Structure formats: structure tokens, C-alpha cells
A = this chain, B = another copy of it.
Amino acid sequence: MAKRRTTLRLQDVAEHAGVSIATASRSLSGASGVSEPLAERVREVAKRMGYVANLHARSLAAGTSRSVGLVVREIGDPYFTEIASGVLRVGAREGLMVQICHTGRDPRRELDQIRTLVASRVGAIVIAGSGFLDARLEAAAKAELQAYRAAGGRVAVIGRHHLGVDAVLPENAAGGRAIAEHLLALGHRRLAIATGSRALTTIADRISGVAEAFGAAGLDFTTVPQVEAEFTRAGGKEAAETILAEHPGVTAVLALNDDMAIGILSVFRSHGIAVPGRISVAGFDDVAVAQDLAPSLTTVRLPMTEMGALALELALKEPAARPRRRVAGHELVVRDSTAPPPA
């Protein structure tokens, strides 16, 4: 009795179809060199037998895999979730499997994830991570990616341009400027900023945009209090309490992401502070719930989904001699949480 195999091999299919392994392989992978009727017959047999090709063997032999990797910081974060859905959309369109890795805001894990992806010989890697705060890690990642590219891998990165690869850049600075100009135009002069760690380029860029707006209006940005906390709803709450305690006179709070803005709204509400009656609140990102909050949130929309899609498309293209850059747009979305300051 033949040894019982756990799974079907290509050879089994070939035998059943009465062809050689090579022909079977070519038929199933759609390569040329097999007459269409024969190929069709082989596919038929394979399907009937319930054959599923071993992806590892295939990738090992072919030296490449029909999958791409996506590195995100936190899959729960709406910012990254939207990027992921853009990448997934393009991946599905191209028949690529998308491997999502998350780093959980530990830059070291980001490096590990990149290594793992390289090890599994994915066809392309899209990185939408946190940015490396450490120069050594940054350099290590860069080296890793260069080697990967030298071996034929494709890379695109979102929101950074230090890695020497194709990049999709959100308009953080322009967006920051737009939202600040909106607040300034409404007449606000005493505002506070709720921010995450300024070491992140994303955040630094947003702040520089705000500074620009102040400069353009001939206002002194250095006097604007910046309250730093976690870049989350909880951080927003913390920042709101701090602002209330230390800067009671502000008429507007600009949160550098919507999550913080949501936390801020929640604290203001529990303190009975009218928004935008007494204090205006603005966010950044335009996460999905922003429009359904009470009051709905004035914010800046960054096309995250499109950026994710664009990044993968960029990575999939023929590699260019020098890194390409694409700048995604931004859009000021004015809703109910901002109004002129109280008289």
C-alpha cells in the first residue's frame, strides 16, 4: 500500500492527468508552452482532486512570492487601518496576498518585521510605520531595505523620506497650515495645541505648518502653548485637563489628530464647556467617526486610503534610478466644532 500522504502534490495531479510534472506546473501557473486544451484539462483534474499548490515550494523554486508585506504601527489605529485598506484594495486587484505586520510603536519591532518580510521573500514591502527615533535603527533599516532592493525587492514608504526608497508623503505641513489659518480666520488668537510626541516627523511637520500660518499672519507662534500627551483619545483627555488648568483663557484647541480631539471634546462636555460656543476644537486626519460626533469635528482630511493604494502601486512599478516621491493632497473639512471666539 502506498504511503499515505497528507496532502496532494503536483505529481499526483500530473499522474491523474497523464502528463509530466512540468506540464502540470505550466498548466496551473498559466505559463506558456502548453496547448490551451491540455492546460484546461489539467486544471480541471487539479480542481476536481482538490489540489492546492504549496506556496512555499512555489516561492522557493520561483524565487519570488505572490505576496506583499505591509508594516503598520498599530492595526487598531484608524490612521493605519485606512492605509491598510488602500493597500489591500490594490493587492486584491493585482491578485497579491497582503501580509500585514504591526510593530506596536516599538521601532525595534519595526526592524524585525522588515527582516521577516524580507525573509519571506515578499514581492514588495510597504512601510507605514512609526518612524525611527533612533538613528542607528534607521540606518539598519535603510541597509536592510537597500539589500532587499538590490535583490529585486520593491519598497515604498508612507510618511517618511529618509529611507532612500519611493515615498508617498502626506501633506502634513500644508494641512497644519490650512487648519491653523481656518482658526485664525475665525478670529481666534489665543489657542492651544494638543500634540503627540514632537519627535515624530508627522507631528513635527504638522506643527511647522501651523507655525507657518502664524508667521504668514504676522503672529508670534512661540507664545502658543503646546501640550504634549499620548496621540490617543486618552492622551487628548489628559491634554484637555491640562489646558483647562494651565491655559484657561484659550478660545480654541487644535489637536494634532482626531483621536486626541475626540478625547478633548469628551472632557469639555463633562465640564459643561460649550463647543464651539466657548472653545472651538479642531482635529486632524478626518477619521470616519469625525462627522458623527457631537459636535461634528472640523478637521483636515488626509487621503489615507489613497495613500496606501498609491504606495503599493508605486512599489509595484519598475524601480526608478532615484527614489520617487508622491505627495497626497489634503482637504480642510469645516464642520460644527469650530466657530468664531465668544465676543
A interface list, Cβ under 8 A from B: 6-7, 50, 52-57, 59-60, 65, 75-76, 81-82, 84-85, 88, 92, 97-102, 104, 115-116, 118-121, 143-144, 147, 150-152, 233, 262-263, 265-266, 269, 288-289, 291-296
Contact = CB atoms under 8 A, between A and B. Distances in A.
A76 B85 contact: yes
B52 A118 contact: yes
Contacts of A104: 92
- Assembly stoichiometry (copies): 2
A151 B116 contact: no
Given A75-B75, A292-B266, A97 B116 contact: yes
Given A56-B120, A292-B266, A75 B85 contact: yes
Nearest to A74: B85
Contacts of A295: 294
**7 shortest interchain CB distances as A-B pairs:** A294-B294, A6-B151, A55-B120, A266-B292, A56-B60, A56-B59, A52-B119
A56 B88 contact: no
B75 A233 contact: no
A52 B143 CA distance: 13
18 contacts: A6-B150, A6-B151, A50-B144, A55-B120, A56-B59, A56-B121, A57-B60, A75-B75, A75-B81, A76-B81, A100-B100, A262-B292, A265-B292, A266-B292, A266-B294, A293-B293, A293-B294, A294-B294
A31 B291 CA distance: 55
A59 B54 CA distance: 10
Contact of A121 (B54, B121, B263, B291): B54
Nearest to A109: B92
A98 B296 CA distance: 36
A88 B102 contact: yes
Nearest to A52: B119
A165 to B, nearest CB: 17
A295 B294 CA distance: 8
A101 B91 CA distance: 11
A11 to B, nearest CB: 15
A233 B288 contact: yes
A99 B102 contact: no
A54 B50 contact: no
